[in-house]
Amino acid sequence: MNINRRGFISLGAASVAALGLAACGNDATTPGTETSTGATNGGGSGAGGKVGVSMPTQTSERWIADGDAVKSQLEEAGFEVDLQFANDDIPTQSQQVDQMITQGVKVLIIAAIDGTALAPQLDAAAAAGIKVISYDRLIRDSENVDFYVSFDNFKVGVAQGQSLIDGLAERFSSENPANIELFAGSLDDNNAHFFFNGAMSVLQPKIDSGEFVVPSGQTTIEQATILRWQQEAAQKRMEDLLTANYGDKKLHGALSAYDGLSRGIITALENNGYSGETFPIVTGQDAEIASVKLINDGIQYSTIFKDTRLLAEQAVKAAVALLEGNEPEANDTETYDNGVKVVPSYLLDVTTVTKDNVTEALVDTGYWTQEQVDSGVA
């Protein structure tokens, strides 16, 4: 994906002036490789020091966009950047972070594959005086997490659940009860729990009242989880659910925590003969271009747009503050307890995207072009 086709949001002019920043080009990474070493000064001087950026995978366009956005904005801020992707492999991410520490980075920005697996690396970072920013996925069970930047993940789940409710009311108002199934993210991702709990906060009352029914009976996150958020695993689970529970009934909706899962669910539904105006309501998250096209075509019902350009901006601001010996600006100091301490956090808001507001939310903001939305190709 050519991230340069998006208009990145840079740090404000005052911050740029204060830091004496120099703009530089953005090296887009290439999907499909296990790791991508972005150790480079780019067009910046690297005067701010070296920052290690650890992203979980390149199999999701969302994480490619995050990695490139963080790298681009850090380089604009005068940092040297080592960007690594871990291919959803925990030992690989651990090794990459170890290497960053050995190379003398000043700050680590980490989107963890498993939020509980990096304690030794964080201990080593603390011993070396390296600050740690947990990026989007909260790193757990360690006191050595200095700051957390993310979206309001409980609200993400609420928005997904409410979108499912709205879509069912729009498309299946005469169906009572409506049959739904639940798909959650990977249990080792702390965010998956926030997403699921947020969604269930609005869906559970509907289930309790009998307005919604889950024919499979699989209503806990442990039953609904999809390891590593894999599209193929979501497709297989949906196929199994349809075979076991829908011989004499129709599915009306599926809660999906992520666009990749959504596309797997949709494939399974299409393979089982679902189509047209009675296609089940399927939610999603991350505004991946393939799913945005499905939404624009009236197949996937919705996605939750999390503007990763803004998240990258907050990560850079936090890195600058920590290196200057200051506390980064936080707007939440109560919610994100990682099991050892409450991590000060900056949370961003999100937007629910349906066919009605694709242009306003994604094209007008420069996140995707109309050509990309029409083609489904970034």
Kindly tell me if the per-residue pLDDT of 13 is higher than 60.
no
pLDDT for residue 276:
95
Q: What is the CATH number of the domain that holds 104?
A: 3.40.50.2300
> pLDDT (tens digit, 9 = 90+) per residue, 222-264?
999 999 999 999 999 999 999 999 999 999 999 999 999 999 9
- Whose tokens are 């599926």? That residue is 254
What is the DSSP-derived secondary structure letter of residue 337?
Answer: B
**pLDDT band of 272, cuts 50, 70, 90:** very high
pLDDT for residue 10:
37
Does residue 43 share a domain with residue 138?
yes
Kindly tell me if the per-residue pLDDT of 3 is higher than 50.
no
Does residue 219 share a domain with residue 208?
yes
Least confident of 14-28, 71-85, 97-111, 306-320: 14-28
β-pair partners for 225: 184
Residues 6+ apart with CB under 8 A from 317: 11, 15, 328, 329
pLDDT for residue 11:
37
Does residue 9 share a domain with residue 133?
yes
Separation of alpha carbons 183 and 279, rounded Å: 17
As a whole number, mean pLDDT of residues 27-39 equals 36
DSSP for 103-145, please give it: TT-SEEEE--SSTTS-HHHHHHHHHTT-EEEEESSPP-S-S--
pLDDT for residue 104:
96
Residue 203 lies in a domain: yes
pLDDT for residue 20:
32
Q: Which two tokens stand for residue 234?
A: 């979501």
Residue type (1 letter), 149: V
Question: What burial class does residue 52 get, using C-beta atoms within 10 Å of its C-beta: 0-12 exposed, 13-18 middle, 19+ buried?
Answer: buried
Kindly tell me if the per-residue pLDDT of 92 is higher than 60.
yes
Does residue 167 share a domain with residue 120?
no
> pLDDT (tens digit, 9 = 90+) per residue, 317-375?
999 999 999 999 999 999 999 999 999 999 999 999 999 999 999 999 999 999 999 99
Does residue 68 share a domain with residue 185?
no
Kindly tell me if the per-residue pLDDT of 93 is higher than 50.
yes
Does residue 167 share a domain with residue 229?
yes
Residue 365 lies in a domain: no
pTM: 0.84
**pLDDT band of 37, cuts 50, 70, 90:** very low
Kindly state the percentage of the chain with pLDDT values over 90.
Answer: 86
Does residue 297 share a domain with residue 158?
yes
Residue 238 lies in a domain: yes
pLDDT for residue 47:
55
Does residue 97 share a domain with residue 9?
yes
β-pair partners for 345: 148, 332
Q: Which two tokens stand for residue 1?
A: 């994906």
Residue 320 lies in a domain: yes
As a whole number, mean pLDDT of residues 146-150 equals 98
Residues 6+ apart with CB under 8 A from 60: 229, 260, 286, 288
Residues in the chain: 378
Does residue 52 share a domain with residue 189?
no
Does residue 330 share a domain with residue 201?
no
Q: What does pLDDT average to over the chain? A: 89
Residue 271 lies in a domain: yes
Does residue 169 share a domain with residue 43?
no
**Number of domains comprising the chain:** 2
As a whole number, mean pLDDT of residues 187-211 equals 97
Does residue 209 share a domain with residue 117?
no
Give the residue numbers spanning the domain of 167. Answer: 153-305+371-375
Residue 366 lies in a domain: no
Question: What burial class does residue 82 get, using C-beta atoms within 10 Å of its C-beta: 0-12 exposed, 13-18 middle, 19+ buried?
Answer: buried
Residue 354 lies in a domain: no
Residue 189 lies in a domain: yes
As a whole number, mean pLDDT of residues 114-140 equals 96
pLDDT for residue 40:
37
Kindly tell me if the per-residue pLDDT of 279 is higher than 70.
yes
Least confident of 58-62, 111-115, 198-202, 277-281: 58-62
Residues 6+ apart with CB under 8 A from 338: 115, 134, 138, 139, 140, 141, 142, 145, 190
Q: For helices 153-171 and 190-209, what crossing angle results, to 10°?
A: 40
Least confident of 5-9, 88-92, 320-324: 5-9
